[in-house]
Amino acid sequence: MNSILIFLTSVIFSMSTDRLFVHGHGQMFEPPNRSSLWRFPEFAKYDPQPDYNDIEHYCGGLTVQHQQNGGKCGVCGDPWNQPVPRDLEDGGRFATGIIVRNYTAGQVAHIKIYMDKAHWGYFEIRLCERDDLSTPLTQECFDKNLLKFHTHSRLANTKYFVNNDKSQFYINTAVFIPEKVKCTKCVLQWHYRAGNNWGSCEDGTQAQGCGPQETFRGCADVSIQDPLLAVSPGQAPVMPPHPSSHSSQEYDQPANNSAEWKPFGQEFSIRASLENLTRELALQQIAFQNLDRDMQNQRREVVESLTCIQVDVNGTLSRFQRETRNEMQHLHDSLTNRIRNQDSHMKQLEEQYREQHERLDSFEMTCNKEHEKFRQSQNSILDQLKIMGQKIQEWRTACPVRPTVNFPEAPNHQQSPLEKVIPNTAKGARADCPYCHKNLSLGYLQKHIAKVCRNGNK
């Protein structure tokens, strides 16, 4: 009983979550992926088998694809090591063979991708052309027709880059259906290579997006008819409502977008539509050529302007460098001359200072010598004065009275003191000396007294 209750509980839980995207990353929503037909009311009459993990067709995961299977993946996103026939490929449980969209050769086809969690990188759309199941669904068949995107920013580009890592949003774009392709059981392949992992690049560097990355794939069965035999495609499916846990704005859910993506209006005939398309393509080509010509002209003008600016900048820079070099040279020469003149002047001053110092030394030596001579002379004079003073003192002591000598008077002749002391007597006369008290001849006495007077009192 307990096992039955557990089984019923699991069934009820599964039925309550039949509209949820669980643990997935992304899927091709338009045209509908093989395992997502159960989400579209228009295919309810076929009672398609539900795949609640239809946004998890990522080749088994990064580890399974690159470590176990050597980077290989099933053409529709199954793990490579899954037994053949794989779930999403011909003969698998989700490959019902239902043609989900009818296209016309040369038209623009609407592509809508749902991203539950983006991982940067890019995705591509390929087409395997075949009319029956006898043509095997291989990657080589898909690679023959790599379709080009038609958007304002991705014209004629085969890669649509996902430049974010946001969650739960739609990508609306379009691709060109090849003009020469016509088939009844074609298969469109969505191939998304993520770019959130870090790895080794081809040039040997390391960067995000290089090396092994997660791969997501999806397949849709379509047909492509000749433009003259084509009919207007049916109404596009309406996305079933999501659970209340997610708002409609998060999923960007349209009510009916069939009119937006009809390749031609129903009011025109096929021929008029082709003419309009041809005219539009011609106008776009002319506009593109004009845009290209304008861009080339602008590029040429920019290059010429940059060249002129570069020439002006180079000329100005050269002139500035030349003027700066001349000014620096002039300043250097001026400073050199000033320094040379200052050195010469300093040498002259040093020479003058040396000469003045030598003269001062010589003058000081001369002064010292003259001072010494003057001191010696002064000492000698002082000594002589001292000696003279002593002799004068002795003379004054020895001669208290100045002697007088009488000499014969002569006309107009004043008698000298000696003549008053020693009178003029006859020859041979003698007299006593008043100084030494000796009896001397008069002639000798005169000479003696005169000598004493000269030495004692000038």
pLDDT tens for each residue of 119-150? 888 999 999 999 888 888 999 999 999 999 88
pLDDT of 453 reads 58
pLDDT tens for each residue of 400-427? 545 544 444 444 545 445 455 455 444 4
Grade residue 448 by pLDDT with cuts at 50, 70 and 90. low
Residue 368 has pLDDT above 80, yes or no: yes
- In degrees, rounded to 5, the angle at the alpha carbon of residue 405 between the alpha carbons of residues 402 and 409 is 135
Helix axes 270-398, 442-456, angle to 10 degrees: 150
pLDDT tens for each residue of 34-92? 999 999 999 999 999 999 888 889 999 999 999 999 999 999 999 999 999 999 999 99
All residues at 6 or more sequence positions from 197 whose CB lies less than 8 Å from its CB, including other chains:
62, 208, 209, 211, 212, 213, 214
Stretch 280-287: mean pLDDT: 73
pTM of the model: 0.48
pLDDT of 239 reads 34
Residues 73 and 96: their CA atoms lie apart, in Å, by 21
Stretch 229-243: mean pLDDT: 41
pLDDT tens for each residue of 253-280? 333 333 333 333 333 345 445 655 766 6
Among left, alpha and beta (phi > 0; psi -120 to 50; other), residue 124 is: beta
Percent of the chain with pLDDT over 70: 69
Q: Which two tokens mark 165?
A: 């890592």
DSSP run (H or E) holding 394: helix 270-398
> Of 16 and 82, which is predicted with more confidence?
82
pLDDT of 264 reads 30
pLDDT tens for each residue of 312-323? 888 888 888 888
Residue 22 has pLDDT above 90, yes or no: no
